[in-house]
Chains A and B, each alone.
Chain A
């Protein structure tokens, strides 16, 4: 099956810093989603981005499907950005496959 690898596994930032999270996948995918899991465990949809670039406030994402990767950019990070960021891809059977996540801590 498809392998999804996220990097880095852990990231510590000072408030106000920028960061880039990466998601690599091993095969063609039907779609790709980015999620933020907050410290209370809730999964929040960030982007549905099978290809191209999208922006939402301080966050943006780019997926290059032909090269099998996606990037999530966080600018001017805030303490509320802390949590785990998951990339999930949909395989040819329309099953969502999750990466192991990037754990982000933003310090004040």
Chain B
């Protein structure tokens, strides 16, 4: 199993540009989530999904959209990037809500 994979590893955007961060898992996990990590801080939950077709907001959802059309994939969309969205983004998954979560390698995003 590849586990949780994320692409790209690094990305630089200009203010106002849009992009999609990709996340995939091959463990048949129902629960997937997105976090952001800012310097010197722990991770904060952006959005999560308890299964295909079901998504909900986390602690810091503004400026981000998600959808979950398949069990394997959970992309995160930035519609109009802002410098405040400069961060490292992590995707995570678990076989159900409420159990141990496993994290991908992260995407480092810089918005200028």
Interface residues of A (CB under 8 A from B): 4, 30-31, 33, 35, 41-43, 45, 48, 86, 88, 90, 94-101
A41 touches B106 (CB 8 A): yes
CB distance from B23 to the nearest CB of A (A): 14
For A90, the closest partner residue in chain B by CB is B98
Interface string of B5-48 (1 = CB under 8 A from A): 00000000000000000000000000001010000111111001
Which residues on B sit within 8 Å (CB–CB) of A100? 40-42
CB distance from B99 to the nearest CB of A (A): 7
The listed residue (A31, A41, A96, A101) touching B45 by CB distance below 8 A is: A96
B100 touches A33 (CB 8 A): yes
CB distance from B105 to the nearest CB of A (A): 6
For A86, the closest partner residue in chain B by CB is B42
A101 touches B42 (CB 8 A): yes
B100 touches A43 (CB 8 A): no
A33 touches B42 (CB 8 A): no
Interface residues of B (CB under 8 A from A): 33, 35, 40-45, 48, 58-59, 88, 90, 92, 97-103, 105-106, 108
Q: Which of B59, B101, B105 has the most CB of A within 10 A?
A: B101
For A9, the closest partner residue in chain B by CB is B40
CA distance A35 to B43 in the complex (A): 11
Contacts A94-B98, A95-B58, A95-B59 given; indicate if A42 touches B106 (C-beta within 8 A).
Answer: yes
CA distance A95 to B44 in the complex (A): 10
Contacts A95-B48, A95-B58 given; indicate if A45 touches B42 (C-beta within 8 A).
Answer: no
For A103, the closest partner residue in chain B by CB is B40
The listed residue (A41, A45, A94) touching B100 by CB distance below 8 A is: A45
Which residues on B sit within 8 Å (CB–CB) of A90? 98
B101 touches A96 (CB 8 A): yes
Besides A94-B98, A100-B42, 12 new A-B residue pairs in contact (Cβ under 8 A), listed by A number: A31-B99, A41-B108, A42-B106, A45-B102, A86-B42, A88-B42, A98-B35, A98-B42, A98-B43, A99-B42, A101-B41, A101-B42
